[in-house]
Chain A
Amino acid sequence: MVGLSEVTSAIEREHISSLLVHGKRIDDRGLFEFRNIEVEVSPIEKAEGSAQVVLGGTKVVAGVKVDVGPPFSDTPNKGVLTCNAELTPIASPFFESGPPDEQTVELARVVDRGIRESKAVDLEKLVLIPGEKVRVCFVDVYVLDYDGNLFDASEIAASVALMAAKVPEVEVNEDTGEITVLDKKQLLPISNIPVSATFAKIDGVLVLDPCLKEERVQDARITMTSTQEGNICAFQKGGIGTITLEDVDTVIEVVKEKAEPVRDLIRELTKEVRGEI
């Protein structure tokens, strides 16, 4: 939950936007450059899958737990996938504990959409007994340090955690409907790798992967998630500012170039567990 409002000085705002006029950023990055991305794969042994992502000064941990349960009644032939986020008060002096607020829910839902709509997890392969028993995957993202752009850090963490997840194999007795959990492990069925790219719009200028200082002065935010085919599987405009058709064009063009290296990184990180994808 986000408490007290943060105050940004007019000087800082001016500093950031006057640099942008010259195509420069406060941390010397190019306008469309991600910060350094560091990923630790499977740091949490008790989770079926997990990943810690450090994106610049932002740090998140995602964990995947997989259970067996009933499917949703409108999708009897699909497994269940739920993404949840926690902005823990550890991460920022402005986060407070309590039930998820708007910002938290938006983060969780944008990450969820990227994974769901790209069909990252092949939910149909998670069915054990159609209409009755399916695998239920929970992806929980915990923010530990907040330095802007939680969307992309969380999306990477969620993807890597899902791809690295190992779940117990099960045996289904067709007659009795009994499910036996075996001692062997298998990977989750993954059929795509979504990558999100988040932009801040500050005084009409778009920048990729905003740090906290940039986020605080942004007028609008754009998150676009792309599939490995280069299609758009999720889009979210945020903030009270406006965006133009040209902005959307720019975002699409930048994503074409910048998403693939991130996807390659995710492939590389999970190669040991999954082999080549």
Chain B
Amino acid sequence: MNNVTLVRKEPSESLFREDGLRLDGRGLDELRPIRMEVGVLNNADGSAYVEHGKNKIVAAVYGPRELHPKHLALPDKALVRCEYRMATFSVEERKSPAPGRREVELSKVIRESLEPAIFVYKYPRATIDVFVQILQADGGTRCASITAAALALADAGVPMRDLVVGCAVGKIEGKVAVDLSDVEDKLGEGDIPMALMPTKKVITLLQSDGDFTPEEFKQALEMGIAACEKIYEMQRDILIERYSKVREEVAEEQEEE
């Protein structure tokens, strides 16, 4: 936009309020509101919708299914493919519909964060496709995408060792804080997106940008793991809720018969 002067409200001086809480009223170890839904689409084998703060994300899983083109097939295990895409209207300035380098990288790291949880050796020569569509982005999309994709994989009935949960930890004004919002991500000093297999307590995604001392980094990881565990509770609850409903429905149908 040439010649256009943007007159918008200045971001406030500090990322903390006078009472010491973050701008949205959260403490340092507090997550944004999270809402999850499983089985939101008809066609996909498994699907999930996650709202994490203002992030709105749909994940769909197709597979295990036949792989095309066939020469990509792996003789001993399933090929896991992942595509992370942002809708043009998911961000302030319209994004071009064609995937950019960022989306390509995120597709790769999301795939690599999910695959360790999947029993890929059960499905030689097949593929498991994971598609993530960001409808609205609000900081921490890759982590919320992992949370959503793991739910979709579980919904598809893909055998897994564990769920996978994502959450970012960052540094704002010298303090380590979990689950950065969009503005904290942009104005903060650093960001560490991570993903966890929560019952195994192993990390499947770890990235970082910005500036952290080794002590801060370790503290961030500990806080991140605690945050992931909280999200995992929600993930587990929503799956139990969904499938106890399914079980009831099936039981009712059998009774009718």
* Bound Cα distance A183, B5 (Å): 12
Q: Does B42 contact A (CB under 8 A)?
A: yes
* Given A3-B68, A46-B91, A99-B98; 5 other pairs, CB 8 A cutoff: A63-B88, A84-B88, A86-B87, A86-B97, A90-B133
**Is A59 a contact partner of B41 (Cβ separation < 8 A)?**
yes
Given contacts A46-B137, A181-B6, contact A90 B131 (CB under 8 A): yes
Q: Does A50 contact B (CB under 8 A)?
A: yes
Residues of B within 8 A of A93 (CB): 43, 62, 65
Q: Does A133 contact B (CB under 8 A)?
A: yes
**Is B89 a contact partner of A92 (Cβ separation < 8 A)?**
no
Residues of B within 8 A of A64 (CB): 89
* Bound Cα distance A61, B58 (Å): 11
Chain B contact residue count (CB 8 A cutoff): 39
What is the CB-to-nearest-CB distance from A233 to chain B, in angstroms, rounded to a whole number? 25
User: Contact string, B17-59, partner A, CB cutoff 8 A, digits 1/0?
Assistant: 0000000000000000000000001111001000000101010
The 5 closest A-B pairs by CB, nearest first: A63-B89, A47-B89, A65-B94, A90-B60, A140-B88
Residues of B within 8 A of A44 (CB): 56, 87, 89-90, 135-136
**Is B5 a contact partner of A89 (Cβ separation < 8 A)?**
no
* Bound Cα distance A135, B138 (Å): 25
User: Contact string, A41-62, partner B, CB cutoff 8 A, digits 1/0?
Assistant: 0011111001000000101010
What is the CB-to-nearest-CB distance from B51 to chain A, in angstroms, rounded to a whole number? 10
* Bound Cα distance A63, B97 (Å): 12
Choose among A68, A138, A178, A181 the residue that contacts B88 (Cβ–Cβ < 8 A): A138
User: Contact string, B121-151, partner A, CB cutoff 8 A, digits 1/0?
Assistant: 0000000010101011110000000000000
Given contacts A46-B91, A86-B97, contact A142 B133 (CB under 8 A): yes
Residues of A within 8 A of B42 (CB): 57, 145, 147
A56's nearest neighbour on chain B, judged by CB, is: B42
Choose among B3, B58, B90, B136 the residue that contacts A144 (Cβ–Cβ < 8 A): B58
Can you offer 13 A-B residue contacts whose CB atoms are under 8 A?
A45-B136, A63-B87, A64-B89, A88-B133, A89-B83, A99-B98, A138-B89, A140-B97, A142-B133, A144-B58, A147-B43, A181-B4, A182-B7
Residues of A within 8 A of B87 (CB): 44, 61, 63, 86, 140, 142
Q: Does A238 contact B (CB under 8 A)?
A: no
* Bound Cα distance A182, B8 (Å): 7
What is the CB-to-nearest-CB distance from A185 to chain B, in angstroms, rounded to a whole number? 12
Residues of B within 8 A of A146 (CB): 43
What is the CB-to-nearest-CB distance from A2 to chain B, in angstroms, rounded to a whole number? 13
Q: Does A250 contact B (CB under 8 A)?
A: no
Given contacts A47-B89, A97-B85, A145-B42, contact A179 B5 (CB under 8 A): yes
**Is A45 a contact partner of B54 (Cβ separation < 8 A)?**
yes
What is the CB-to-nearest-CB distance from B151 to chain A, in angstroms, rounded to a whole number? 14
Q: Does A190 contact B (CB under 8 A)?
A: no
A176's nearest neighbour on chain B, judged by CB, is: B3
Interface centre among B43, B44, B135, B136 (most CB of A within 10 A): B43
Task: Identify which of residues 1-31 in chain A touch chain B, using a CB-to-CB cut-off of 8 Å.
Answer: 3-4
* Bound Cα distance A265, B153 (Å): 37
* Bound Cα distance A59, B58 (Å): 12
* Bound Cα distance A204, B65 (Å): 36
User: Contact string, A127-145, partner B, CB cutoff 8 A, digits 1/0?
Assistant: 0000001000010101011
* Bound Cα distance A165, B97 (Å): 20
Task: Identify which of residues 88-111 in chain A touch chain B, using a CB-to-CB cut-off of 8 Å.
Answer: 88-93, 97, 99
B6's nearest neighbour on chain A, judged by CB, is: A181
